């Protein structure tokens, strides 16, 4: 593919880009930016979020589940989960028989996707992501504050500040999802997504091995082009 090729995944709250350069693929993640599509000839694009009306988003360039070589996928599976699961399985190959990989995508929703040793979809879990939990608490109560971000992350496990307490509660809720999943399935854990760093740090503090691959979904998309 020529230098300058561009791929896009339209997420629920963020847009994820892959741009081909002379030294390889460059990945970046932005707020929805329809204007950035002006003048771009997309190589491939996919969506799990709202798709704007733009001429660059042609049907012939759209990637869907039929393009992802993950076996046994149900028709309702998000293409982002399929791409991340396939990319992790491909990168981990050869996967020992009887094992597989667990892929956690920490985005708007925390998704868990299990992929077997032979590259088959084996189910998963879904939970509200960090920012979605924080937004829901602020919207559903009178006194809890809204937040536009998650930095700096609180150091204290039991903060006195309200926002820090909300952050720690949401983090530990998702950490519980991951720890419980690992209790039932001890396959290698891969984590991607914009909210993955605090989860990776918390798991590392507990001595739990994890493969942190922030751009796994987009690596899956560009991997289909090779």
The H helix count followed by the E strand count for the chain is 5, 9
Catalytic residue among 28, 64, 80, 161: 80
User: How far is the C-alpha of 1 from the C-alpha of 17, rounded, in Å?
Assistant: 16
How many other C-beta atoms are found inside a 10 Å radius of the C-beta of residue 171? Answer: 21
Q: What share of the chain is helix, strand, coil (3-state, %, to 5)?
A: 35, 25, 40
Is 41 an annotated catalytic residue? no
Q: Is 43 exposed, middle or buried (0-12, 13-18, 19+ CB in 10 A)?
A: buried
SS3 of residue 118 by DSSP: coil
DSSP string, 62-90: B--GGGS--BT--TTS-HHHHHHHHHHHH
DSSP string, 124-186: EEEEE-HHHHHHHHHHHSSSSPP-S---SPP--SS-SSHHHHHHHHHHHHHHHHHHHHHHH--
User: How far is the C-alpha of 26 from the C-alpha of 6, rounded, in Å?
Assistant: 10
How many other C-beta atoms are found inside a 10 Å radius of the C-beta of residue 160? Answer: 8
Catalytic site positions: 80
């Amino acid at each position: 593919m020529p230098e300058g090729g561009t791929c896009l995944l339209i997420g629920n709250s963020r847009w994820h880009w892959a741009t081909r350069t002379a030294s390889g693929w460059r990945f970046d993640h932005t707020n929805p930016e329809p204007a950035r599509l002006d003048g771009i000839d997309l190589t491939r694009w996919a969506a799990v979020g709202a798709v704007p009306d733009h001429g660059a988003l042609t049907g012939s360039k759209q990637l869907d589940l039929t393009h992802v070589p993950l076996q046994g996928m149900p028709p309702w599976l998000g293409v982002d989960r399929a791409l991340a699961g396939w990319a992790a399985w491909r990168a981990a190959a050869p996967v020992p028989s009887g094992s597989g990989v667990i892929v956690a995508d920490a985005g708007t929703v925390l998704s868990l996707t299990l992929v077997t040793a032979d590259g088959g979809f084996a189910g998963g879990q879904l939970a509200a992501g960090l920012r979605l939990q924080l937004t829901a608490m602020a919207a559903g109560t009178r006194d809890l504050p809204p937040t536009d971000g998650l930095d700096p992350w609180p150091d204290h496990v039991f903060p006195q500040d309200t926002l820090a307490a909300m952050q720690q509660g949401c983090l530990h809720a998702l950490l519980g999802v991951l720890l419980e999943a690992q209790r039932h399935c001890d396959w290698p854990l891969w984590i991607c997504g914009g909210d993955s760093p605090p989860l990776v740090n918390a798991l590392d503090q507990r001595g739990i091995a994890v493969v942190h691959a922030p751009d796994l979904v987009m690596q899956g998309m560009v991997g289909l082009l090779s």
